[in-house]
């Protein structure tokens, strides 16, 4: 094997020292075109840009080998043999390179023992067709050309296609949050329109759906533009797979302005009224920890300025530190919107509530060590998740049951809080975050310290701000308590 790997390029004839004879013998290989724009013709768009230097070298050699193979643009479905051809001496580097190259060389429908490069086949077929139309006398020296690969099945269900699209975005280096958001948007809209496969796509139906959402006031300009961006990315993917002929949203114009009325800042009275209502429902329904989760999550929105989706990500021991001299949150980069870690002090009222909640979850875990939950954005749709209960177990979540924005609005309506103010701004979970900032500002806290407590990532100067936990605690205690007296006494 080692001698085979050290051979000069173009010499793949078996030698006596080989562990097993190679099934293919190629004595001469044509030169691979070096300009990067030509190389991009041999791989799906974007894949070449994602290749490392090792993967690019392997791609050059495999592309040259496939160029001269029979049928052309094919390679054997044998990774050890391909490693020899690619002259990959480091197994770890070859695994990384092959993970990307599998997006270029896919199984041949005609022969499972062979891999084919559809992009190169299509590129060569188009070039041959153009030469035939121009009646060019030039003769190709790259071997016989195959016809364009058969079109993909337009009746293929959307679910595996969306999964392939997500994998493609991962290869292109998209952020996990972006991939999750794009796939969620497309999946929900596809289900709402009743589409099962690409052949069901109707551009007018999608356009009518988007217009109705905007005209009904459910979406602002930012939401519309996000939907259009998601579908443009998905439809580009389908066009590259030859599943659709045109982009149905190509002619849809994005909203000129993305700013809607937004959410208003909550007030002390509204926060207390909302929490009192949830506490009363908790006592009336007697559903145990589920309602306790709801009450505590809502308190965290107001007293820690959390975003609506952040409480469900918190884990005991990793993000919640109660036994320190100054109890605090340890916001790790993987759950932060701006991807910057931060340590933020905790409000005393929230600290007491979390301590009581921790004891309740320890007792509850004695007979229920884990619960099965579903995606809160899709009801009971999607894959169920198993979430540990016991706070002493690694990886256990502070809030096994996630409260949704829809539940927040329902509780707000039942508590008698106006949905809109005189300026048309709504009362939403983000109103609690705005309450946190406005309360600190009204208490005279410095703006840079407020930005730190809000976990904003602003200018370069703010990177050097490093307030101590004691300083943070002194600012946060200026916010008043919000829980009803009975609940406060119980958590003390």
Domain of 446, CATH number, reads 1.10.443.10
Q: Flag whether 252 is in a domain.
A: no
Q: Flag whether 146 is in a domain.
A: no
Give the pLDDT confidence score for residue 206 in this predicted structure: 86
Q: Flag whether 246 is in a domain.
A: no
Nearest to 392 by CA among 353, 366, 372: 366
Q: Which carries the bigger pLDDT value, residue 145 or residue 240?
A: 240
Domain boundary among 133, 168, 193: 133
369 and 314 within one domain: yes
Q: Flag whether 263 is in a domain.
A: no
Residue 220 has pLDDT above 70, yes or no: yes
Q: Are 42 and 123 in contact (CB under 8 A)?
A: yes
206 and 81 within one domain: no
Residue 9 has pLDDT above 50, yes or no: no
Residue 112, strand partner residues: none
Reported as a pLDDT band with limits 50, 70 and 90, residue 260 is: low
**Six-digit token string for 65:** 């080998």
Residue 95 has pLDDT above 60, yes or no: yes
Reported as a pLDDT band with limits 50, 70 and 90, residue 452 is: very high
Q: Flag whether 247 is in a domain.
A: no
145-149, 282-286, 399-403, range with greatest mean pLDDT: 399-403
Mean model confidence pLDDT for the chain? 77
Report the distance separating Cα 171 and Cα 51, nearest Å. 9
198 and 84 within one domain: no
Residue 37 has pLDDT above 60, yes or no: no
Report the distance separating Cα 476 and Cα 439, nearest Å. 9
Q: Are 475 and 449 in contact (CB under 8 A)?
A: yes
Reported as a pLDDT band with limits 50, 70 and 90, residue 380 is: very low
426 and 282 within one domain: yes
Report the distance separating Cα 54 and Cα 66, nearest Å. 18
> Structural domain of residue 180, as residue ranges?
158-240
Give the pLDDT confidence score for residue 269 in this predicted structure: 94
* CATH number of the domain enclosing 179: 1.10.150.130
Give the pLDDT confidence score for residue 355 in this predicted structure: 94
Residue given tokens 């932060």 in the structure block = 336
Report the distance separating Cα 58 and Cα 149, nearest Å. 24
444 and 368 within one domain: yes
**Other Cβ atoms closer than 10 A to 203:** 16
Q: Flag whether 143 is in a domain.
A: no
Report the pLDDT averaged over residues 361-365. Answer: 90
Q: Flag whether 255 is in a domain.
A: no
Residue 470 has pLDDT above 90, yes or no: yes
Q: Which carries the bigger pLDDT value, residue 483 or residue 381?
A: 483
DSSP code of residue 174: -
Whether this prediction's pTM lies above 0.85 is answered by no
Torsion, Cα 317 321 325 328, to 10 degrees, reads: 160
186 and 90 within one domain: no
Q: Are 340 and 460 in contact (CB under 8 A)?
A: no
391 and 337 within one domain: yes
CA angle 384, 338, 185 (to 5 degrees): 45
Residue 387 has pLDDT above 90, yes or no: no
Q: Flag whether 298 is in a domain.
A: yes
Phi, psi (rounded to 5 degrees) for 108: -80, 120
Q: How many domains does the chain have?
A: 3
386 and 329 within one domain: yes
225 and 326 within one domain: no
235 and 122 within one domain: no
278 and 213 within one domain: no
């Amino acid at each position: 094997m080692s001698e085979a790997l050290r051979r000069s390029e173009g010499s793949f004839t078996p030698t006596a020292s080989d562990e097993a004879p190679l099934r293919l013998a190629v004595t001469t290989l044509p030169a691979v075109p070096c300009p990067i724009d030509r190389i991009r013709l041999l791989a799906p768009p974007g894949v070449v840009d994602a290749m490392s230097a090792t993967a690019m070298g392997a791609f050059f050699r495999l592309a040259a080998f496939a160029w001269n193979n029979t049928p052309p643009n094919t390679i054997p479905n044998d990774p050890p043999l391909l490693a020899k051809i690619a002259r990959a001496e480091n197994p770890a580097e070859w695994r990384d390179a092959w993970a990307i190259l599998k997006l270029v060389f896919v199984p041949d429908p005609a022969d499972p023992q062979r891999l084919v490069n559809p992009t190169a086949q299509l590129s060569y077929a188009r070039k041959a067709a153009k030469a035939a139309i121009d009646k060019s006398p030039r003769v190709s020296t790259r071997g016989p050309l195959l016809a364009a690969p058969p079109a993909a099945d337009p009746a293929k269900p959307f679910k595996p296609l969306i999964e392939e699209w997500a994998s493609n975005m991962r290869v292109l280096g998209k952020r996990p949050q972006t991939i999750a958001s794009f796939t969620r948007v497309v999946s929900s809209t596809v289900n709402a329109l009743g589409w099962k496969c690409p052949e069901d796509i109707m551009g007018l139906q999608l356009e009518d759906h988007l217009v109705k959402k905007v005209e009904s006031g459910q979406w602002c300009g930012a939401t519309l533009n996000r939907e259009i961006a998601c579908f443009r990315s998905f439809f580009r993917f389908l066009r590259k797979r030859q599943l659709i002929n045109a982009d149905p949203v190509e002619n849809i114009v994005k909203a000129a302005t993305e700013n809607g009325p937004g959410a208003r800042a909550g007030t002390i009275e509204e926060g207390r009224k909302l929490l009192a209502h949830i506490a009363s429902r908790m006592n009336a329904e007697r559903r145990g920890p589920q309602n306790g989760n709801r009450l505590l999550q809502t308190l965290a929105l107001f007293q820690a300025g959390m975003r609506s989706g952040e409480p469900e990500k918190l884990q005991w021991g990793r993000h919640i530190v109660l036994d320190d001299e100054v109890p605090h949150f340890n916001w790790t980069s993987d759950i932060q919107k701006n991807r910057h870690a931060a340590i933020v002090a905790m409000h005393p009222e929230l600290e007491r509530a979390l301590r009581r909640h921790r004891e309740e979850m320890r007792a509850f875990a004695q007979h229920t060590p884990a619960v099965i939950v579903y995606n809160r954005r899709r009801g009971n749709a999607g894959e169920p998740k198993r979430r540990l209960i016991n706070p002493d177990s690694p990886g256990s979540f502070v809030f096994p049951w996630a409260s949704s924005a829809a539940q927040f609005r329902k509780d707000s309506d039942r508590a008698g809080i106006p949905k809109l103010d005189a300026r048309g701004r709504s009362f939403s979970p983000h109103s609690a975050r705005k309450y946190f900032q406005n309360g600190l500002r009204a208490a005279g806290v410095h703006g840079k310290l407020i930005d730190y407590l809000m976990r904003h990532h602003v200018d370069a100067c703010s990177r050097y701000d490093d307030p101590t936990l004691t300083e943070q605690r002194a600012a946060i205690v200026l916010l008043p308590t919000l829980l009803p007296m009975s609940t406060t006494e119980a958590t003390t």
